Each structure stands twice: as C-alpha cells, then as structure tokens.
Structure 1
Amino acid sequence: MRLVVGVDGSESSLRAVDWAADNAALRRTPLRLVYASLWERYEGASLAQGADRPSEQVMAEEIVQTAERRARRRQPDVHVTTDVLPEEPEQALVRESHSALAVVLGHRGRSGMTEAILGSVGVTVAEHAHCPVVVLRCDHADRARPGTPGRIVLGVDEKPAGSAALRFAAEEAGLRGVPLEAVHVSRHGVTGALPGRGGGKREPDAVPALDEALRDVPIGLEVLRRTVSGRPRDGLLAASRDAALLVVGARRRPGHFGPQLGRVAHGVLHHAACPVAVVPELS
C-alpha cells in the first residue's frame, strides 16, 4: 500500500507532495506521484510537426520530475515512483485509490481558480475514491508537516458514519504523537468541553454519538471530546483553526454513482483552516 499524490505543476499540488512525503516517512510506506491528462486527445503526431513527442507529454514529464525531486529532497529515505497517465485526472485518481492508503491533492490546479472554490477534480475524487482523500490549500503550508503542533480533529454527527474515519484519525494522531479530538456539533443544547470519558453535564444527543464514534479508539491514545452548538459546518471550521488535520466521514451508498458528499464535507473542503481528510464509509 502506498500514498498517491495527484500532481499538476501548481503550487497547491507541490504542497500536497510535501505533506504526502512527510506522511509516507512516518508510515514507512512508498510514495507514488501521478500526473493525468488527456493530452493525446488534443495533441497528436500531426500537431507535433516533427517533434519527437507532443509538447503536453514533455510538460507532463517535467511536472512529475519536479515533484519527484521535491519529494526526495524533503524525505530522502522515502521510495518514490512516478507515472504519467493519458486519461482524465478524476478517473485515474479514483482508480489509483483502489490500491492506496490515501490520495493526496492540492486545493486547486493550474486553472487559476480562486482559493474559495475547490476544483472539480478534488470534489469528484473525494466523492468516489475507495480510500481517504486528503486535500490541502496553499495557505495550509504551516500545517503541512506531521511534526507541526496541533491535534487531529474528528467530526462526529448524530449518526456517526462508522469506524473508518475513526481509524484514520486515530492512526494519524498516533503517528504524530498528538491528541485526537472528537467534535460533535449540534443545532441545539449546551456548548462545552467533554474531557475524557468522565461525568459532567452534556448534551443528551452528544453522549451516544460520541460514545459510538469512539468505541474502537486504540488504548493509550489521548482522546478529547467536545460538543458545540450551532451549524455543523461552522463548528468544524472553528475547530480546524488550531488543528493539524480535520477528518470527516463520507457515507457511500452502494450502487449510487451521483454526488456522494454532504454539505458539511463540501463546506470544510472549501474553507477549513487546516488540511482535510475525507474518509469513505459504506452506509
């Protein structure tokens, strides 16, 4: 199993390379850098006009070589491979997710879209990938290193998505040696911190949701519990301000091929102050 990074030459995708290289070093797993584009559809031999290779292919190879050099400089001991795939990025990365620990993407590509808008590739991959998808923005540079102080935040709703998001969040917290904080956001009730598993006044609906979400937490991992009143998206965005990573589950409906992300996942992908991991959960 390996970490896969979708690269396209943008600064955002290079930040993703940095994060993935550090994470691969922590996990002692290989790193695969992939550039995917349907260049062959637009540049055939007739357009090359005597060139040995179409210009888009040359550019693609330069992109992956640049990303490879960056990864090797950052983590020399990580085994790095690259590939250039002549197909749609969404299709290629979803297929890569079948054999990946996680797929890591930048928030936007070379199209020049504003930071407030997540590119269509990121949305599609997060909706349909078979493994966790981690998305970073350029302004996440100070949160991109696993050694960065800060906890791992796990978003929990009234019906916890399952254990996959918890496993990923707990593994990240354990690798980094930081606490795991489970945050439950309710539209009603009392706001307050819920340290540990002890007593205290809590929101009635927060207790079963948090207990269910944390029932398989690894022994020895420091776990914090917090419940917040308000809109779920706003509560998780607030929690992301001093977090190293925000993890949310995405329920998948077998046989359904349309959009698979809810409004909360969409919101945190667009606006979180730290990298976001979307973890698929089969409902």
Structure 2
Amino acid sequence: MRLPVVVGVDGSEGSFRALDWAATEASRSRLPLRVVHASLWERYEGLHPADAERPTEEVLAEHLVAEARDRARRLGPEVTVTADVQPEDPVASLVGESHEAAMVVVGSRGHGRIAGMLVGSVSLALANRSHCPVVVVPAREPSTPPRSGRVVVGVSDAATPTPATVFALARAAARHGELVAVRAWRSPAHEAMSHPLLAGSPATAHHRQAEEHLEDVLAQLDRNASSGVVIHRSVVRGPTHQKLIEAAADAELLVVGTGRSRGRHGHHLGPVNHAMLHYAPCPVAVVPDTYDA
C-alpha cells in the first residue's frame, strides 16, 4: 500500500506553494496525493438541516479543494489526486491524516492573525504532534536558487541511522540527487580527556571523533552505496542550527529529527527544530524519531 503525500490547504498563497511542492514530491516519489482543507465552519455557522441552504463557508471550502485538486493534476498529470473537506480543527485533522501518510505538507504561514509570523501555529503544532514527517514550505521563494536534487540532513549523536537520515536519503534518491550529511560539534566547556584521541589538541580530537561517528552512521545508512545517491560529508564546528542553515542555503530540502521521547502532547521540538522552521531558506522536513522509516 502506497501511503499518500497529504497537503493541507487554506486558500492562502503559502498553502498553494505547499500544494505545488507536495504535487511535485508525489510525482517524483510515485505516490498518491491527498488534498485536505479543514475548518471549524460548522462551529461558526451552526449545524443546518438537510433542506436548508448550505453555509457559505462549506461552499467556499468545496470550491477551494476543487481548485487545489485541479492545480495539482496540472502539475502532476500522472499522480492520483483525492481531495477532502473536513469540518474539524486543522491541526487535529492533519494529525489524524498523519497516521496513514508518507508525509504531511503545509505552508509556513496561513490566514488570519498568524499570517505575519514566520511560522504559523498550525505548522508548529503539527510538527509537534504528527506521526509521520512534516514538511513546512516557506511562504517565499529563496533568494538563492536551490541546487537541483540537493537534500541536507543533520546527523545527531545517535549511534545508528535515525528516521530523519533514512527519510533524507529516500528524498535524495527520489530526486536522483545528492545528500549532504552535516555533523556539527562543539567542545564542552569542561571535558574529561578519556577518549584515546584526546591526547592531542581537544579541537582536533573532537573533529576526528565527529568524522568517525559520521562515517559509521553513513556506512549503516547506505550499505554498498545501494541507493545510488552521492553523499557529501560535512563535519563542522559550531552551533548545529547555524551550520544547518548555512548548509541549506542552496538546498531543495532540509531534514531534521525530533527528540527521542514522545510525550502526552507529542514530540520534543528543541531549539534546533524551531530555528530551522523559522529561518531555513528552503522547505524543512521534521521527522519524528519514533517514525518507522
């Protein structure tokens, strides 16, 4: 069963940019596309009897998803596109969709009072609670044209490939592109020099440790280079969020993971995740570490 790429639309320019990205991704990944518009129009209009005139918001929503469906079909004629209107809170609706989706795609900003923010409340809440990867598409075109097929992923200190790295490799393979694996490191203020490599310069030792770790993870991620993806290694000193933003300057997609624990209210979005969602120059995929990639 091929899970769909799900995209949330609300009629804003940002949501149509997300739709275009989702349609293109569905086409290159050979996945179906599901367009969803969720709104609590029933709460504001009131429930209506069967013979009453339908609420204006319901009619507008149906026109919106029809327009979105037609637009997606023009972008990817070979993609199977379905569309649905749901009288539900947008976050709850898309979280529900995430149980049976390859990824959920949204714009970084929507309508209303959140439109002036860098990242809207729906995007943040969904990234916190989704059961599958969430891709947040910026509202504006990047100032630097992306390099075709380039995907950047942040490699954590986990000993084995995380769902984020697996997802990033798959997205690079679908593009017949390249993967840039970034491992950022920083020297602790007070460290115990117990590692054998730490006999020399601490900075040199930490860099070599980071290189070793990255090589080990990538060897497990793409055994025998079976994916066909060219993988570039980037081991850099400095704050992770800063180095990832720099690496993503000419990328088509930046992929990051979430915290390993999933609590009552969802995943743990740390400062790196928030920085990526606010400042990354390209679409950002947030992949739950609990996701079965």
Asked whether the two chains share a fold, i.e. TM above 0.5, the reply is yes
Deviates more, 1:110-119 or 1:51-60: 110-119
Amino acid at match of 2:221: D
Larger Cα-atom Rg:
2
Q: 1:114 to 1:36 in 2, by over 3 A?
A: closer
Match of 1:128 in 2: 129
CA–CA distance in 2 between the matches of 1:60 and 1:161? 44
**3-state SS of the aligned residue for 2:289?**
strand
CA–CA distance in 1 between the matches of 2:17 and 2:105? 10
Amino acid at match of 2:118: I
CA–CA distance in 2 between the matches of 1:91 and 1:161? 32
Amino acid at match of 1:36: A
Match of 1:113 in 2: 114
Match of 2:182 in 1: 183
Match of 1:267 in 2: 275
1:138 aligns with 2:139: yes
Provide structure 1 residue ranges, at least 5 long, that are not aligned to the other structure. Answer: 190-199
Please give the per-residue CA displacement for 1:79-105, whole angstroms capped at 9, x wherever unaligned.
111101111111110110011000000
Deviates more, 1:257-266 or 1:5-14: 257-266
Please give the per-residue CA displacement for 1:94-121, whole angstroms capped at 9, x wherever unaligned.
1100110000000100125356521111
Match of 2:240 in 1: 232
Q: 1:36 to 1:236 in 2, by over 3 A?
A: same
- Cα contact 1:116–1:270 (8 A) shared by 2: no
CA–CA distance in 2 between the matches of 1:114 and 1:164? 31
CA–CA distance in 1 between the matches of 2:216 and 2:265? 28
Amino acid at match of 2:43: R
Q: TM-score, normalised by structure 2?
A: 0.83
Deviation, 1:161, is 7.9
Amino acid at match of 2:78: D
1:217 aligns with 2:222: yes
Deviation, 1:175, is 1.2
Amino acid at match of 2:289: E
Deviation, 1:253, is 1.6
Match of 1:155 in 2: 154
Amino acid at match of 2:209: D
Please give the per-residue CA displacement for 1:155-183, whole angstroms capped at 9, x wherever unaligned.
11334684311111111111111111100
CA–CA distance in 2 between the matches of 1:188 and 1:93? 40
Q: 1:183 to 1:17 in 2, by over 3 A?
A: same
Q: 1:261 to 1:71 in 2, by over 3 A?
A: same
Q: May I ask how many residue pairs the two structures share in their alignment?
A: 269
Deviation, 1:150, is 4.6
Q: TM-score, normalised by structure 1?
A: 0.86
Provide structure 2 residue ranges, at least 5 long, that are not aligned to the other structure. Answer: 189-203
**3-state SS of the aligned residue for 1:205?**
helix
Specify which structure has the higher proportion of strand: 1
**3-state SS of the aligned residue for 1:266?**
helix
- Cα contact 1:36–1:84 (8 A) shared by 2: yes
Q: 1:212 to 1:131 in 2, by over 3 A?
A: farther
Q: 1:126 to 1:258 in 2, by over 3 A?
A: closer
CA RMSD in angstroms, aligned pairs only = 2.7
1:243 aligns with 2:242: no
- Cα contact 1:24–1:31 (8 A) shared by 2: yes
CA–CA distance in 2 between the matches of 1:3 and 1:78? 11
